[in-house]
């Protein structure tokens, strides 16, 4: 009797432990899969958006995943994975008892990290003058901006705004000198 | 608005006509006419034009409100980078002398905001999606374009005509100073936040796309950067909560890609080989990953 009780506890513990380490997710944007969490490495494969994955590990904005494909390929995806984190413990238990939830369609996805802005959040907020003062400190000026651009080899050039017509023009008009003319609306 | 002016003018003419008929007091009639004309001009100033200093004040108020909801990321290098880049892009456009400020919000949602007077924000969520500087340049140039052609300001004015400005009746422009202006500007800020939450109209967004790609190209970037971002957005599920606000307040990304591809072909193709530049951006993104 006692042994059965201990085994049951052990089984439940294993179930929840595995849940804590793995979680279903979805790839939100077609993304590269890397062997290590380093975008300087060559990608091992391209994972299409909406591919279901099992999240094996989460480090910063890197996710180590196993693709929900026959090959079960494993690797790291940068940022573009969203865990299904709005499942109650009861639902988790129900799905575990049913044989896992990796085959379930996620009904919704959750944001990563802090909660995003919802309807009414900006209006309800208190203005933050200190943050505005910080913005003043970060402000650039034309000379600094030119140095910044120059360091990346960027050069300014004269290009006219796009001509909106049913038949696109074949050439942009760079000879008029009217670089800053706001296009007609 | 025009109707209101016409009615005012007609009423004024009627009064004038009666006065001439009854009293034949031409001096007084002229005086009335002069005052009426002044009133019309004042009315026009108060209800149609918002001066640049007031535009800046309005944008500052909206920005302070936004920062109260989503703070700036505490990373000087990142914020200065975005400001330097934004200022460089602004130098390629029409209103370089506005007090332009750029900020990266500590918000993992995918979004960007512009406020009148030269305030531009990008969320961390969108910043982290950027694959290179040309994509970031496209996003910043899109938001800058909203400010250049006063999309938000016009929308705020339009919405306010039936709200806060209507309540003011025939108050003259110069009367809208001190506490009265302070009261009005608070209501205009609220209206501006409403514009953020409900979105600009479709035409304004498409116009900002068309202008944005050109301004980014003028700054030396690959103009297809914005197309790349929109393509990325088009692949995100609309059910994703982090994309919800942007999805609901903008035309479908696929439609925007289609418009740009159609217009850019033949007009901006030659600039497609311009810089994309990845190193600096990825270094900053890696800092945010810590």
For every residue of B141-183, DSSP letters joined together read: HHHHHHHHTTHHHHHHHHHHHTTHHHHTTT--GGGS-HHHHHH
Is residue A177 classed exposed, middle or buried when 0-12, 13-18 and 19+ CB atoms within 10 A define those classes?
exposed
B120 touches chain A (CB under 8 A): no
Supply the pLDDT for residue A26. 83
In this complex, do A132 and B63 lie within 8 Å of one another by their Cβ atoms?
yes
Supply the pLDDT for residue B168. 57
Supply the pLDDT for residue B151. 96
Distance CA B139, CA B231 (A): 13
**Distance from the A48 Cα atom to the nearest Cα atom in chain B, whole angstroms:** 9
Contacts of B218 in chain A (CB under 8 A): 156-159, 179
A-B contacts at Cβ under 8 angstroms: 226
Supply the pLDDT for residue B31. 57
Segment-wise mean pLDDT, segments of 10 residues, chain B, 290 residues: 48 44 45 48 49 93 96 97 98 97 93 96 92 94 97 90 62 62 86 90 93 97 91 73 69 85 87 85 87
- Write down the mean pLDDT value for chain A: 69
Supply the pLDDT for residue B159. 86
* Cα separation values, B92 from B121, B130, B142, B213, Å: 19, 22, 13, 12
**Distance from the B34 Cα atom to the nearest Cα atom in chain A, whole angstroms:** 36
In terms of CA atoms, which chain B residue is nearest residue A112? Answer: B108
**Distance from the B75 Cα atom to the nearest Cα atom in chain A, whole angstroms:** 10
Q: Residues 15 to 74 of A: which have CB under 8 A from any B CB?
A: 26, 28-30, 39, 49-50, 60-62
pLDDT in tens, A29-59: 778 899 988 766 788 888 887 889 998 887 6
Per-residue pLDDT band for A10 (boundaries 50, 70, 90) equals low
pLDDT at A91 over 50: no
Distance CA B210, CA B226 (A): 10
Per-residue pLDDT, averaged over A88-108, amounts to: 35
Per-residue pLDDT band for A103 (boundaries 50, 70, 90) equals very low
Contacts of A160 in chain B (CB under 8 A): 214
Task: Report the candidate in B48, B147, B42 with the shortest Cα–Cα distance to residue B102.
Answer: B147
Contacts of A122 in chain B (CB under 8 A): 65-66, 68-70, 193, 196-197
Supply the pLDDT for residue A14. 44
A33 CB-side CA count, 13 A: 18
φ/ψ (deg, to 5) at A109: -120, 155
pLDDT at A83 over 60: yes
Supply the pLDDT for residue B166. 61
* Mutual angle of helices B279-289 and B133-148, in 10-degree steps: 90
Q: Say if residues B82 and B122 touch (Cβ distance below 8 Å).
A: yes
In this complex, do B241 and A129 lie within 8 Å of one another by their Cβ atoms?
no
pLDDT at A104 over 50: no
**Which residues lie below 8 Å from residue B31, measured CB to CB, with a gap of 6+?**
none
A70 CB-side CA count, 13 A: 0
Q: Say if residues B89 and B137 touch (Cβ distance below 8 Å).
A: yes
In terms of CA atoms, which chain B residue is nearest residue A30? Answer: B235
Is residue A96 classed exposed, middle or buried when 0-12, 13-18 and 19+ CB atoms within 10 A define those classes?
middle
Facing A125 at nearest CB: one of B65, B84, B85: B65
Task: Return the bridge partners of B112, or none.
Answer: B122
Supply the pLDDT for residue A7. 59
Q: Residues 93 to 152 of A: which have CB under 8 A from any B CB?
A: 108-114, 116-129, 131-132, 134-136, 138-142, 144-149, 152
pLDDT in tens, B84-106: 999 999 999 999 999 999 999 99
pLDDT in tens, A162-185: 988 754 444 343 333 344 455 544
Supply the pLDDT for residue B121. 97
In this complex, do B241 and A142 lie within 8 Å of one another by their Cβ atoms?
no
Per-residue pLDDT, averaged over A103-121, amounts to: 43
Supply the pLDDT for residue B126. 92
Supply the pLDDT for residue A94. 42
Better-predicted residue by pLDDT, A123 or A19: A123
Per-residue pLDDT band for A80 (boundaries 50, 70, 90) equals confident
| SS3 call for B240 | strand
Q: Residues 261 to 290 of B: which have CB under 8 A from any A CB?
A: 262-268, 270-271, 275, 277, 280, 282, 288-290
Q: H-helix or E-strand containing A46?
A: strand A45-47
Task: Report the candidate in B252, B157, B244, B159 with the shortest Cα–Cα distance to residue B209.
Answer: B252
């Amino acid at each position: 009797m006692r042994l059965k009780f201990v085994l049951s506890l052990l089984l439940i513990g294993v179930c929840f432990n595995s849940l804590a380490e793995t979680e279903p997710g979805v790839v939100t944007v077609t993304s590269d899969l890397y062997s290590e969490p380093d975008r300087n490495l060559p990608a091992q494969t391209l994972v299409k958006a909406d591919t279901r994955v099992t999240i094996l590990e989460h480090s910063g904005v890197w996710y180590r995943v196993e693709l929900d494909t026959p090959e079960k390929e494993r690797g790291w995806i940068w940022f573009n994975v969203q865990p299904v984190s709005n499942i109650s413990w009861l639902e988790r238990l129900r799905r575990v008892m049913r044989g896992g939830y990796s085959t379930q369609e996620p009904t919704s996805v959750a944001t990563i990290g802090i909660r995003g802005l919802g309807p009414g959040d900006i209006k309800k907020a208190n203005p933050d003058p200190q943050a505005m003062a910080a913005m003043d400190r970060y402000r650039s000026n034309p000379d600094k901006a030119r140095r910044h651009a120059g360091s990346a080899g960027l050069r300014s050039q004269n290009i006219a705004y796009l001509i909106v017509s049913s038949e696109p023009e074949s050439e942009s008009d760079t000879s008029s000198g009217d670089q800053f003319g706001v296009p007609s609306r | 608005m025009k109707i209101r002016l016409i009615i005012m003018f007609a009423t004024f003419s009627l009064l004038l006509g009666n006065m001439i008929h009854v009293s034949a007091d031409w001096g007084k009639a002229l005086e009335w006419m002069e005052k009426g004309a002044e009133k019309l001009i004042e009315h026009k100033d108060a209800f149609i034009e918002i001066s640049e200093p007031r535009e800046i004040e309005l944008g500052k108020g909206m920005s302070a409100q936004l920062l109260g909801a989503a703070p700036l990321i505490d990373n000087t290098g990142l914020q200065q980078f975005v400001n330097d880049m934004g200022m460089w892009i602004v130098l390629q456009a029409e209103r370089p002398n506005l007090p332009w400020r750029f900020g990266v919000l500590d918000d993992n949602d995918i979004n960007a905001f512009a406020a009148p007077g030269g305030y531009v924000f990008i969320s961390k969520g969108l910043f982290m999606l950027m694959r290179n500087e040309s994509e970031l340049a496209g996003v910043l140039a899109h938001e800058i374009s909203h400010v250049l052609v006063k999309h938000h300001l016009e929308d705020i004015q339009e919405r306010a005509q039936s709200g806060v400005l209507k309540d003011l009746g025939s108050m003259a422009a110069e009367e809208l100073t001190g506490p009265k202006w302070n009261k009005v500007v608070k209501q205009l800020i609220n209206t501006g936040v409403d514009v953020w939450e409900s979105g600009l109209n479709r035409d304004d967004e498409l116009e900002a796309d068309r202008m944005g790609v050109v301004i980014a190209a003028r700054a030396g970037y690959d103009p297809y950067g914005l197309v790349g971002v929109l393509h990325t957005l088009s692949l995100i599920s609309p059910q994703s909560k982090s994309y919800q606000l942007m999805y609901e307040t903008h035309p479908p990304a696929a439609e925007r890609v289609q418009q740009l591809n159609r217009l850019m072909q033949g007009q901006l193709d030659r600039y497609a080989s311009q810089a994309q530049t990845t190193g600096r951006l990825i270094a900053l993104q890696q800092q945010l990953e810590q």
